[in-house]
Structure 1
Amino acid sequence: MSEARRAAVAAMLGARSMAVIGASPRPDSFGSRMVIEAQRGSARVHLVNPHYDRIGDTLCAPSMTDLDDDVDLVLLGVPDEALLEQLESAVAIGARGAVLFGSAHGLRDKVTAISTSSGMAVCGAGCMGFINNARGVRALGYLEPDPLPSGGISLITHSGSAFSTLLRARRGFGFRLAVSSGQELVTNTADYVEFALDDPDTRSIALLMETPRDVPRLRKALLRAAGQGVPVVILTVGGSPRGKAMVAAHSGALAGDRAAWHAFCAATGAVHVGDLAEFADTLELFSATKRSRRGGVATVHDSGAERALVADLAHDLGIEFADLANDTLATIGALLDDGLAATNPLDVWGTGADTRNLFGRCLRAMVDDPGVGVTALAVDLVTEFDDDTAYADAVLDVAAETQAPIAVVASVSSAIDQTTAQRLRDYGIPVLEGARSGLAALGHLARWPLPVEEVPSRDRRREIGASASEVLAAYGIPVVESRSADSLAQVVAVAAAIGYPVVLKTVGVLHKTEVGGVVLGLADEAALTAAYRKMAQRLGAAVTVETMVDGGVEISVGFVRDDAFGPLVVVAAGGTLIELMQDRVVAYPPLSRPGALRMLDSLRMAPLLAGWRGAPAVDIDALADVIASVSQLAVDRGNEFDAVEANPVIATPHGVIAVDAVMIRRQP
């Protein structure tokens, strides 16, 4: 972000004076709400409306040019037909920022042009405004909690509804900054994240995004957050539309919007969540000051059935329970009633006697285990009618004696005793309000910080040929020998030069196998002649003759271009089973060999690569090098192609080789 842009954003979000355009005395009107919220804040407030001389005890000016004070920020609560005129007036008086509440339908390009040329920051259009809780600035068109709970979260959301929901959530977190950014015509999420990271008291960043804008700058900002140790939690909704290449190419059809977001988050160290419940639970857990040691999850239960439910959910979510040390198991085992086993997850309930001591000592044993990253008491936290049931006391006892993270996970939010929950939260104990969402949040904290490997993105362009195989070969990817022919005589001559057995393929068809355009294992001239005559009659004379490769494991490696994120590397189960298997992983380039190896480890077919049921393992390093090379091709040439795919790449114990490839150039 340029210094001028950074300064404009800071002046907008930290406004010392603001003008409310369209101020109104009418109760419950938009203009009235703007005034109420502005006057709740710390900025000097000027009211502008030609229809009033005074609103309440405050003078009202007929226009912005009649104001006798410098104005940092204007709130434009005007209809779209008056928007451009008022925005130009804001520029004329030197305002540094504006909030556009309306949709600006049909005016967006002009709004952007006016604001950009003047260097003005703009929140919106189609937004609810913002609150800078650290500075006391309230620039809203709708009434929100006053005071807003204070804390370390900077929230930026494209959704106005979610903005209000999170501000009113009554959870164990609070805000430094909360921005309803709307359409982001001028100032975007990357700007707000940079502003938040300039604030040393920002403890975490929460993003709710529909469409990514200015991805390179956003990526840079998120990497900066990772470097500063500030967790970023991202809930994505919808996402960018698929490009044509993502439909046309095999691998493109497999790379959906969520996959693109997941790859982007993985590349920047951000925590990617699935819904608002997981968003809120994760934010509450990360808002606690205690961080994970990076280990597994440990949970203590008062119900065998709910313990089994949590184990099932963890399996679905891919969350690992910690393997407890022998000393830990012995300590816990000595505390349990007969018939209960020391395990993780742990069912403690026996006679129910002395819950404070029993649950507290079991929790403490888990908290102290070096393999445990985060510990939770997983009980429903209902209102208790038995005097000896003291779950909250047990957790508070342990939390007071450790710096390791500990939380409470409840299953049914409506059954939570709010007094008990608030007591826990007052002492910094997160109360997670759903079994699935809470367990997912525990998994996020246990794995944080996520590994972020910055691979230098240097342009290593090479001279490339016209065909997909030539493109791959230019980047050091082994490809089978392949020669073109368009007559029987040429086909026979090429095969003799290459050496039998050979593969015969038609030319100009994307999915050759589906139309009978590939014949494998042609062992001699007679077999080749028969196959060519049949293929030429149906599909045309133009073919390629290629070296036959036997055995190995088939993998698809390529990249597709997403309209918002740019090129994305896709690795999948290869060959004709690519769509059927639906086994793929998407990553944001560039990738090193370790990054490529992580992609391969994420495939369900990874055991095949490692050697399945006595089969030899493939040359996994050579396969990872192919992925890294395709990644570099994506970085260098991603603007030239909608898709490049090598499918299949055949991996064997002795190396890898691409036996077919597809290349789709971008249309002007």
Structure 2
Amino acid sequence: MHRLERLLRPKTIAVFGGRQAVAVVEQSIKMGYAGEIWPVHPTKDEVAGRKTYRSVADLPDAPDAAWIGVNRHLTIGVVKALAERRAGGAVCYASGFREADEQDGDRLQDELVAAAREMPIIGPNCYGLINFADGALMWPDQHGGIRLAEGGSGVAIITQSSSIAISMTMQKRGLPVAFLMTAGNQAQTGLSEMATGLIADDRVTALGLHIEAFDSVEGFERLAALARKLKKPIVAMKVGRSEQARQATVSHTASLAGSDKASGAFLKRLGIARVESIPELIEALKLLHVTGPLPGNRLSSMSCSGGEASVMADSVEGCFVHFPRLTDQHRLHLKSRLGPLVAVANPLDYHTFIANNVPAMTETFTAMVSAGFDLNLLVLDFPRRDRCSDGGRSLPLRAFEAALKSTGAQGAIVSSLPENMPEEYAVDLTGGGIAPLFGVSEAIVAAEAAAFIGSAWRKGQAQPIASTDAGTPGGEHVTIDEAEAKESLIRAGLPVPKGERVSNAMDAVIASQGLGFPVALKALGVAHKSEVGAVRLNLNDADSVSAAANDLLGLGTGLYVERMVRQGAAELIVGFTRDPTFGAVMTLGTGGVLVELLQDSVTLILPVTREDIEAALRGLKLYPLLQGYRGRLKADVAAAVDAILGIAAFVQQNAAEIEELEINPLIVCSEGNGAWISDALLVLGGKKNG
């Protein structure tokens, strides 16, 4: 039994408090809760027609769940008494704990957790839980949800905002909800543990999360593993993209990475789809409830308007999902049903010639969806009922339903505007196995989420991340110079061009002659050399080296001369920062002096595999250049991957010391000539756990 089992699916509920507690009792009665409700009040004899009890000690038994709506000081005493009676768990409604950002709040929250001992508590500072499957509501406000039908199923949603939770219950989009839960302060029970308890319920088909912060890396990894095992997809809306959330550090890597990109990389690693808004979250959950993860990313679209077909075509630009071209055979098959005046394509404008002919539409739709697309979309907006008649808009729906049924294909109705799909139609469609999707962009986001999860689940599960290496930076950060950084990389067996530290122009000339021309000369102790002219490249003789050395001597702490890398085909940035939640985070992207301007990068969390690196490189805009774009030399991609894996291993082995490491550029040479670390910035700092 999961630790939260009694709390999530209670047979008895105790309710403490005044006005809000009355609402909790009334809501459960209204929803038809079959279990016992025990109000607790020091003076009242009954609440909403239910007998009251004076204290926890007077209750008939230890309740499975309790909703506590008294002030923060009294809450601690109630929790302590419930824990002593071995209650199943409690929702703590009161605020004024750690979220209040005051000394008393911190102390009281610690006391609350101590009072609970082993008993689970949700919150404090949260509304609680709505169990629409059993009619058990520990919820002090109105809501817009309905109870699940006997034997029915729905999604579970957890938010870190009670206000957002209420808004979600008011949706008119046909999304069946089995559970809705708010997390509050997560003083003792984190969001990942709540989610693990909910997703195991047989009546839950998919899970939606609104995340402000991750409570536990390990907890989310366990949740994602369970979701795969149970075949129940997860969609998350993670907030916190603002520039203010980024950590100020010295490298380009830090400006590219940021905590939000690390969060996105973590969710992707787990196979959890990420969306950006509440409507997108609802639509993605709705599609996943109906279809589950998609087996691929091939979509079809049909509408009776060329304008709608164009909108649909444009909507997938840059997406993983796409509308593949029809084969000649498939096109002829459709053409035979639509006639010579209709241009056959995907997305398909089937035109108005057959708009009121159900048999003809059924034949056309059946021909279209029979090609094995992973999801078939029909664009259909319904007239507003207060001013218009149906206008025959239900006829295409009937034809689409018949086509899907006869072929066994997956389908969704897409309304171009959310208000153009009546709620009762959406509910009927969902119950009939067709997803009603509100809004074109939201529909494509939903398809993208379902296709991503399907793709992620077909791959092996990622290794647990090295979260124990996250810690908290301690002591002063020290930026070591390029010469020392490269010595460390050379000792690790990484590909670094031969170089030498020198202190004057004569030594630079001698070192250059020993290395062989051409060489590069750099001023040491300068973080961004190109910005202050602290580097000279392609020096081909002693005179040019001497002149360059005299120019650079005053810029830093010394000089570094290095053999030039030849036959470079492309430049990459390979950077690492230490994230306080996820440990070592890698940024891989287009390198060079324009790295921040181009913003062509991918964020990964260690450990990484060869497949991870190869997939990341393929996702860069730079990738065609690595493949020999327009007759250029093809780059040594295999050597680049080897180098990146080696750099990542170096970071993991020295995770307790490295705050940042930036290789910019990693010069990828033509095929067979390797990849070389041309510049390295290394920032060290102590690690302080806790």
Give me the identity figure in percent: 25
Q: Does 1:487 align with 2:504?
A: yes
Which secondary structure does the structure 1 equivalent of 2:333 belong to? Answer: helix
The one of 495, 509, 512 equivalent to 1:478 is 495
Distance 2:483 2:126 in 1: 48
The one of 545, 560, 584 equivalent to 1:544 is 560
Q: Which residue of 2 aligns with 1:3?
A: none
Q: Does 1:376 align with 2:380?
A: no
**Unaligned ranges ≥5, structure 2:** 470-479
Q: Which residue of 1 aligns with 2:682?
A: 663
**Residues 412 and 7 of structure 1: CA distance in aligned 2, closer, same or farther (over 3 Å):** closer
Distance 2:393 2:88 in 1: 61
Distance 2:48 2:380 in 1: 52
* Range that drifts further, 174-183 or 414-423: 414-423
Q: Which residue of 1 aligns with 2:113?
A: 115
The aligned amino acid for 2:678 is: V
The aligned amino acid for 1:659 is: S
Distance 1:553 1:46 in 2: 70
Q: Which residue of 2 aligns with 1:273?
A: 275
* Range that drifts further, 150-159 or 513-522: 150-159
Q: Does 1:87 align with 2:79?
A: yes
Structure 2 matches for 1:387-406, cutoff 5 A? 387=392, 390-406=395-411
Q: Which residue of 2 aligns with 1:203?
A: 205
Query: Deviation at 1:577?
Result: 1.1
Q: Is 2:246–2:255's contact at 8 Å kept on the other side of the alignment?
A: no
The one of 5, 13, 19 equivalent to 1:18 is 13
Q: Is 1:297–1:446's contact at 8 Å kept on the other side of the alignment?
A: no
Which secondary structure does the structure 2 equivalent of 1:401 belong to? Answer: helix
Q: Is 1:507–1:544's contact at 8 Å kept on the other side of the alignment?
A: yes
Distance 1:49 1:419 in 2: 42
Distance 1:146 1:478 in 2: 61
* Range that drifts further, 526-535 or 237-246: 237-246
* Range that drifts further, 46-55 or 649-658: 46-55
The one of 76, 82, 94 equivalent to 1:102 is 94
Distance 1:362 1:476 in 2: 63
**Residues 38 and 467 of structure 1: CA distance in aligned 2, closer, same or farther (over 3 Å):** farther
Distance 1:553 1:479 in 2: 16
Q: Does 1:46 align with 2:51?
A: no
Which secondary structure does the structure 2 equivalent of 1:369 belong to? Answer: coil
Query: Deviation at 1:290?
Result: 6.3
Distance 2:512 2:304 in 1: 72
Which secondary structure does the structure 2 equivalent of 1:186 belong to? Answer: coil
Q: Does 1:561 align with 2:578?
A: yes
The one of 425, 434, 445 equivalent to 1:429 is 434
Distance 1:13 1:637 in 2: 43
**Residues 474 and 58 of structure 1: CA distance in aligned 2, closer, same or farther (over 3 Å):** farther
**Residues 361 and 252 of structure 1: CA distance in aligned 2, closer, same or farther (over 3 Å):** farther
Distance 1:359 1:624 in 2: 52
**Residues 148 and 419 of structure 1: CA distance in aligned 2, closer, same or farther (over 3 Å):** closer
**Residues 363 and 263 of structure 1: CA distance in aligned 2, closer, same or farther (over 3 Å):** farther
The one of 186, 194, 197 equivalent to 2:196 is 194
* Range that drifts further, 141-150 or 235-244: 235-244
Q: Is 1:355–1:389's contact at 8 Å kept on the other side of the alignment?
A: no
Query: Deviation at 1:232?
Result: 0.9
Which secondary structure does the structure 2 equivalent of 1:491 belong to? Answer: helix
Distance 1:300 1:475 in 2: 57
Structure 2 matches for 1:89-168, cutoff 5 A? 89-103=81-95, 104=97, 105=100, 106-108=104-106, 110-112=108-110, 114-115=112-113, 118-145=117-144, 147-149=146-148, 151-168=153-170
Query: Deviation at 1:223?
Result: 3.0
The aligned amino acid for 2:681 is: V
**Residues 30 and 664 of structure 1: CA distance in aligned 2, closer, same or farther (over 3 Å):** same
Count of paired positions: 653
Q: Which residue of 2 aligns with 1:34?
A: 24
Q: Is 1:245–1:561's contact at 8 Å kept on the other side of the alignment?
A: no
Q: Which residue of 1 aligns with 2:660?
A: 643
Distance 2:325 2:194 in 1: 41
Distance 1:285 1:221 in 2: 21
Distance 1:258 1:374 in 2: 31
Structure 2 matches for 1:51-450, cutoff 5 A? 51-103=43-95, 104=97, 105=100, 106-108=104-106, 110-112=108-110, 114-115=112-113, 118-145=117-144, 147-149=146-148, 151-238=153-240, 247-289=249-291, 292-370=294-372, 372-382=373-383, 385-387=390-392, 390-450=395-455
Q: Is 1:223–1:269's contact at 8 Å kept on the other side of the alignment?
A: no
The aligned amino acid for 2:109 is: V
Query: Deviation at 1:218?
Result: 0.5
Distance 2:434 2:189 in 1: 36
Which secondary structure does the structure 1 equivalent of 2:377 belong to? Answer: strand
Question: Aligned-pair RMSD on alpha carbons?
Answer: 2.8
Which secondary structure does the structure 1 equivalent of 2:142 belong to? Answer: coil
Query: Deviation at 1:511?
Result: 0.8
Distance 1:155 1:458 in 2: 26
**Residues 290 and 577 of structure 1: CA distance in aligned 2, closer, same or farther (over 3 Å):** closer
Which secondary structure does the structure 2 equivalent of 1:327 belong to? Answer: helix
Distance 2:579 2:139 in 1: 35
Q: Which residue of 1 aligns with 2:639?
A: 622
Query: Deviation at 1:619?
Result: 1.1
CA deviation map 1:181-207 (0-9, x unaligned): 122121112112222343344321111
The aligned amino acid for 1:401 is: S
**Residues 454 and 466 of structure 1: CA distance in aligned 2, closer, same or farther (over 3 Å):** farther
Query: Deviation at 1:600?
Result: 0.5
Q: Name the TM-score, length of structure 2 as normaliser.
A: 0.88
Q: Is 2:585–2:603's contact at 8 Å kept on the other side of the alignment?
A: yes
* Range that drifts further, 488-497 or 277-286: 488-497
**Residues 401 and 590 of structure 1: CA distance in aligned 2, closer, same or farther (over 3 Å):** same
The aligned amino acid for 2:125 is: G
Query: Deviation at 1:437?
Result: 0.5
The one of 606, 620, 627 equivalent to 1:589 is 606
Query: Deviation at 1:391?
Result: 1.4
The aligned amino acid for 1:443 is: E
